Structure 1
Amino acid sequence: MTAALTGLMLGLKVKILEKSEVIGGTTSLSAGSVWIPNSMHSTPGADSDKKTRTYLRKTVGNRLKPELCDAFLKHGPAMIRFLSDTDVKFRAYPKHPDYFADAEGATLSGRALEPLPFNGASLGADFHRLRDPLPEFTILGGRMVDRDDIAKLLNAAQNLSSFAQSSQLLARYVLDRLRFHRGTRLVMGNALVGRLYSSLRKQGVRVDTGTNVTGLTKENNKVIGVEIKNNRQTGLALAKHGVILASGGFSRHPELRRSLLPEPLAQFSPLPETITGDGVSIGIDAGGFIGNGHAENCFWTPVSVRKRKDGSMTVFPHFVLDRGKPGLIAVDRNGRRFVSEATDYHSFGKAMYANKTRGTIPCYFVCDYNFIQKYGLGMVRPRASNLSNLVSEGYVVKGETITALAKELRIDSHGLLAEVKTQNEYAQSGVDTEFGNGRNSYERNLGDHRHRPNPCPGPIKKPPFFAIKVYPGDLGASIGLVTDKNAQVIKSGNGPISGLYACGSDMDSMMAGVYPGPGITIGPAMTFGYIAAKHIAGNIS
């Protein structure tokens, strides 16, 4: 959508073909963070291209592609400013450190941007065309909340200001449900998709949903259109100047998934079911090729799963709300920890695979009564209002003692007892001598700043005790079609395929399987979509 919006603003005619029946893919279900260093939202003088390049070299290492890095650093800030004339508005998180916070060139804030909340009601009858967020990320059956909202709601009984703001949020939701199927105050990734779609609507563009792209059309070795199929027609959609592939990557393509992901093959993914590698497949058929040599071929997150009453499966990503908080440990089948719980989600997933012979797939998140009441646990909400239902369903396992909990989980009770004892010592000293939980500014930011002496390690003492089973889940592709700095797909021989571009997860990631900060998938996706549109329009300087 960024590419289409850019093209429109540069005078091109565009057509958007969407396989799903709704608008917005993985971004709709995500936090919507966008990693763009040194943008108009950064504090002047606090960041620079040199500083960012140093950070990426220290973290991505020799896998970093200089040509793509230079294009990203040059055009990312320009893309943010360019879109600021539309409904696509951002602000910098007040504090959101880079994930490798101790690396040279890292920052505490400024690079990670979030979309401003968006009023979905402004879309009118088209509001229903947006992809809904995960129900488990909403309250009251459809009200989206972000971290700030959660804090206000939990503090409403103790703080008059929080009570007033919470009352306003809930009153608006009641009014929304008189007109719409869910709340219209959109936050996070849903807000970003809503803002992009709103901007496209104002330019007169209607997204063609339910439309499969089955192949490319060439003339004189140039891509001039796509073959399409939907419930209305099978035919061609011609593109005079170029085709941009942005179908979400290879993730659910059966053969590519089996060949590119490690064993045991990840069972669960929070990605939409429609992300089946169509763009990558037709790019390969056109003469393109996928990259290699990545640190990981996909990006990981720990997930827990639950079957809903309607039979559908919830795949819940554990990004920030529970893992790093004080009083939770992640253990293997021996009851032993294997990673810092507050590390970034990609590194956590990597650790599950690196330690798989110890029984870390699945692993188990373990906490006590005080923790689950204060922070929740996965799909258990803070204050544990839905805890009893999730225990009865089997999503949460409960034990009156640590030994009883281990027995229910079928893991080693002696190991778990020893680990809890050690964790309680770390909670008192504030120093995790094994895995360094809370060792840097990123991990401490994920914890609870009110907890002392360290925001991350906390006690596990008050019964009953609780646990959930956690698996590695892929949240996006790193491997994709190799492109040049203009996002043009490269031929397996050499040189670009005329008229064919790729961005997002269809494009081979410049991060090469490393996850250095929040929004390192969406930020480059939007930037190279912007670059592709400008290149098509002939305006790249």
Structure 2
Amino acid sequence: MQNNESDDIYDVIVVGSGAGLVGALAAASRGLKTLVIEKTEFVGGTTAYSGSGLWLPGNAAERRGGVDSGPDKARAYLDDIVGDDAPSALREAFLRIGAPMIDELESFPQLGQFFWQGVPDYFEKATNALPAGRTIFPQPLERAALGDLEPLVRRPQWAERSGEYPGDEMTGGQALIGRLLLAFTATGNGTVRTNTGLDRLVVEDGRVVGVEATSNGEPVTLSARRGVLLAAGGFERNAELRKKYQPEARADWSQGAPGNTGDALVAGMDIGAATDLLEEAWFSPGLMVPNDRPVFYPSVWSGIWVNDGGERFMNERLPYDRSGHEILRHHKASDVSHIPVHWVFDQRQFDNERAFASPPVAPQSPGWFHADEFLEAGLLHRADTLEELAELIGVPADALVASVDQFNDYVRSGKDEAFGRGDAPWDRIITHMCGSHEDGPNPCIGLIDRAPFYAAKIALSDLGTKGGLKTDDHSRVLHEDGSVIAGLYASGNTMAPMTGRIYPGAGGPVGSSMVFSYLAALDMAGADA
């Protein structure tokens, strides 16, 4: 969509078109002339790739699902796991505004009602963790309902990769973006410019009053009377910034959307904005695949992960961000490489038709794991014995055999004495997806003894970087001295996260991005938060 007005003056400019669309909608629905600029040709960012779970304690959708949650219970949980890694004021704002934000969104006919679906909180031992979780989801959306807007919405990642038609029904992140786009444009106050990338912020008398951008190859200056919201994702696809702040991570291993190269972050830093946690990301395991970046893969059913020393070092079923952080922690603390990880499994993985049936984010692309293609690319190795497999992947044979033997003992006893696989509610989700193991009392662990044996590669991937610009509890960006940069706001992965270094539960990134985009809009509109 292209703006046809000649003056290019708006009340609010939102840079980025993912969950920041909530802020755009909140501003436009309050009568503010609002522009969304998107660097790429598609609206949605990484949110469109997501399953669009929203971790937002105490909302109406939870209550309809019978969940006994709320700010007080969630506060204790967040305080326990976040600690001092992020200001408590941000958590309080998140807890205060999440539920009323959902109430407002559900008042738009284009959004409809969200629904709760049980996904366990990721830190099962923390105070007030909920085994059934606090995650809600948007309703699916018929693709045809978008009309002429439909080609604007970024396809799910699996569809972008495979080239397959994603179906007549949008689900997950696509559905959320589609619904927000419909509601935003229906206000009569909203405009979207795609192929329009931020170059720099315009500052007058210490206040951000607009942006300079490149739109379809041409320079433009766009003015904002009330403010600019930076909601353009992180810098995960910027190799230079990754090398500077996260040398163990790689831009070409990220799951983030192509446009997430840190332009908004850099623009804020250029005018003196403070930053925090730039070394952090929403890490995850990524299965390395032929001719493409790794696949987001939290769905390990069988086998074990070993390092270059042939040693098992973690619970392979940890929630994905905890799993990614654990890989990184061991890699940094050891002289033995843990990146990439060797995933060792046996023929049972292939004999179970459900184990490689689909990637984890629905809707799915069946038959994506073609063993011959992986073998030919050197991303899968196969051998008749563990000793032969060890030689193929370059790890000590005695160590690999010992790791497998110990794991098999745990299988027979039913207790993973080393790392507790199968103890937590999140671990056990895999049994609903792929079935239970029947080699012992623990359904989450199975024997590795049926030749041939295999080894695949697990990269340190991520859903995006999470360090960013420091803000206050109204999403206003701060100087290094803690004072507010007038007219500038940030949310999502452009903002230093309210969750600090952790990922509280499914939908933490999208849910918090929505909340702080909404808070920014309320502040620009002069409304109570």
CA distance in 1 between partners of 2:393 and 2:357 (Å): 17
Letter in 2 for 1:500: L
Report deviation, 1:505: 0.6
> Residue 199 of structure 1 corresponds to which residue in structure 2?
183
CA distance in 1 between partners of 2:322 and 2:133 (Å): 22
Report deviation, 1:91: 4.0
- Structure-2 change in CA distance of 1:254 and 1:408 (3 Å): closer
> Residue 188 of structure 1 corresponds to which residue in structure 2?
172
TM-score, structure 2 as length reference: 0.87
CA distance in 2 between partners of 1:484 and 1:128 (Å): 36
> Residue 100 of structure 1 corresponds to which residue in structure 2?
123
CA distance in 2 between partners of 1:341 and 1:46 (Å): 30
Letter in 1 for 2:83: G
Question: Structure 2: where are the runs of 5+ without partners?
Answer: 1-20, 360-364
Letter in 2 for 1:463: A
Report deviation, 1:371: 1.8
- Structure-2 change in CA distance of 1:539 and 1:190 (3 Å): same
Report deviation, 1:73: 0.3
> Residue 308 of structure 2 corresponds to which residue in structure 1?
333
Answering whether residue 433 of structure 2 is matched by residue 443 of structure 1, we say: no
CA distance in 1 between partners of 2:324 and 2:394 (Å): 22
> Residue 37 of structure 1 corresponds to which residue in structure 2?
57
Among 314, 337, 358, the residue aligned to 2:336: 358
Q: Provide, for residues 199-223 of structure 1, a one-character-per-residue CA deviation record: whole Å limited to 9, x for no partner.
A: 2233344421110111122233222
CA distance in 2 between partners of 1:406 and 1:89 (Å): 54
Give SS of 1:200's match.
helix
Among 300, 314, 318, the residue aligned to 2:297: 318
- Structure-2 change in CA distance of 1:110 and 1:81 (3 Å): farther
Answering whether residue 22 of structure 2 is matched by residue 2 of structure 1, we say: yes
Report deviation, 1:517: 1.3
CA distance in 1 between partners of 2:217 and 2:483 (Å): 37
Letter in 2 for 1:300: F
Q: Would you say how many aligned residue pairs link Structure 1 and Structure 2?
A: 492
Report deviation, 1:40: 0.6
Answering whether residue 76 of structure 2 is matched by residue 54 of structure 1, we say: yes
Report deviation, 1:188: 2.0
Letter in 2 for 1:435: F
Among 369, 376, 380, the residue aligned to 1:396: 380
- Residues 359-508 of structure 1 correspond to what in structure 2 (within 5 A)? 359-374=337-352, 375-377=354-356, 386-448=370-432, 450-451=436-437, 453-508=441-496
> Residue 320 of structure 2 corresponds to which residue in structure 1?
345
Report deviation, 1:263: 3.8
Report deviation, 1:479: 1.4
Question: Structure 1: where are the runs of 5+ without partners?
Answer: 143-180
Report deviation, 1:45: 6.9
- Structure-2 change in CA distance of 1:384 and 1:488 (3 Å): closer
CA distance in 2 between partners of 1:129 and 1:383 (Å): 28
Report deviation, 1:305: 2.8
Report deviation, 1:418: 2.0
Q: CA RMSD in A?
A: 2.5
Which one is further off, 189-198 or 387-396? Answer: 387-396
CA distance in 2 between partners of 1:215 and 1:262 (Å): 26
Letter in 1 for 2:322: S
- Structure-2 change in CA distance of 1:372 and 1:136 (3 Å): farther
> Residue 539 of structure 1 corresponds to which residue in structure 2?
527
Letter in 2 for 1:107: L
> Residue 5 of structure 2 corresponds to which residue in structure 1?
none
- Structure-2 change in CA distance of 1:91 and 1:400 (3 Å): farther
Among 153, 163, 186, the residue aligned to 1:130: 153
Among 200, 220, 224, the residue aligned to 2:209: 224
Letter in 1 for 2:178: G
- Structure-2 change in CA distance of 1:131 and 1:207 (3 Å): same
Letter in 1 for 2:456: I
CA contact (8 A) 2:327 2:338 kept: yes
- Structure-2 change in CA distance of 1:439 and 1:78 (3 Å): same
Letter in 1 for 2:387: T
Give SS of 1:63's match.
coil
CA distance in 1 between partners of 2:367 and 2:344 (Å): 17
- Structure-2 change in CA distance of 1:408 and 1:136 (3 Å): farther
Q: Provide, for residues 138-196 of structure 1, a one-character-per-residue CA deviation record: whole Å limited to 9, x for no partner.
A: 88x52xxxxxxxxxxxxxxxxxxxxxxxxxxxxxxxxxxxxxx5423222222222222
CA distance in 2 between partners of 1:211 and 1:372 (Å): 46
